[in-house]
Structure 1
Amino acid sequence: MQILDEAVVDRAVALAGRADRVVLGIAGEPGAGKTTLTTALIEALTARRVPVAWLPMDGFHLGDGSLDALGLRAHKGAIETFDGWGYLAALRRVLAEPGHPVYIPGFERTLEQPIAADRVIPPGPALILTEGNYLLDEEEPWSLVREVAAEIWYADVPGELRRDRLVARHVAFGKSRDAAEAWVAQVDEPNAERIRARRMHADLIVPIGA
């Protein structure tokens, strides 16, 4: 599957040339292919010898203990179930502290839990790719990501394909098909509507096909 055309890669290369550290955000609805787009960019940029690092938003999911305390476990994935301020602080750190490693949390999909210090942004120049659902949201702290990111792109995919991917993902990680379809309808789709409403604010729309 062809994810990127050369013009998209050229644009990322140009962004990387602006400074030693530059943040490029990848937004999109659940199941839109944000990670697919990010990994394709990493491969293309590495082939062009552009230093690149990856800071996914998923590591800033609240753990189940916090979700239970807040009464939000049944809404995991909604905007209020992320540590948005912590995510913003991590983005600011990678720009402000290029001389040493910055450790960031990852997300274990089998456990559906964040893992502390599971990833690292190494010292030195890099285009920092960060992908997540709410990078274009107008609510603080998400609106402040605009102050950190040079650009925010939007991974765009046909709705039916996106929903099919989501159901398949939930089934792959342990839900029954009925439970997966219910979760997509009741949790993922309301989140997708919120994200899609901000689509026009992206600097670039990147179509992700079948």
Structure 2
Amino acid sequence: MTTNADGPQTPARRRAPAGAAVLREDVTEAIRLAVFEELAAVGYARMSIEGIARRAGVGKTAVYRRWRSKLHLVLDVVSALAVMGLPVPDTGTLEGDLRLLYQVTSRALRHPVASQIIPDLQAEAARNPDIAEAMQKTLREGQEGVASGIVAAAQRRGEIRAGIDEDLALDLISGPLYWRSVVIRSPQLPKGYLDALARSTAGALRAL
């Protein structure tokens, strides 16, 4: 019977190198999920390693084997969102790509957990430069890759000109929906809002 860093395991033919800590991935994922739930429930300031461990059904030691502190744990979880990303839409038109992007992003931003976590972390980012950097990486890189793909596809189709200001294009694509959903936190988008936003953004990109 072999054991790992998180508890006993089934018999295995190959032993881990002496002194190596083999961390169970299912435990790691349970802790990450517990972080999201704990952030939504109590916020960053009141969140504790004890609360995370209790929610994940593990001991505090299992958390500390993976992350040195609450800050490192949250930064790791938040930063991981950046690499998850959204698939680049491929509807065949600029307006269609934008509409699909807005539909998917809107659902994600309005998820009960995300709607609690993002504003809380933004407030914490104003006091903590490490969280601010992680938030910027998460929100900008995730959207930037998708927006760049939409712009590049539209350029190949001849819908917008080559050489446009990509930073301005990203602001035009991502800014309005984040303003409405994250900053203002509108409880419900007006009927037809996403269609109108896609149409207006496509027009603005063509005018660049």
* The structure with more helix, counted as a fraction of residues: 2
Higher strand share: 1
Indicate the structure (1 or 2) with the bigger Cα radius of gyration. 2
User: Does TM-score exceed 0.5, indicating one fold?
Assistant: no
TM-score normalised by length of structure 1: 0.27
Name the structure, 1 or 2, with higher relative contact order (CA <8 Å, separation 6+): 1
The normalised TM-score by structure 2 is 0.27
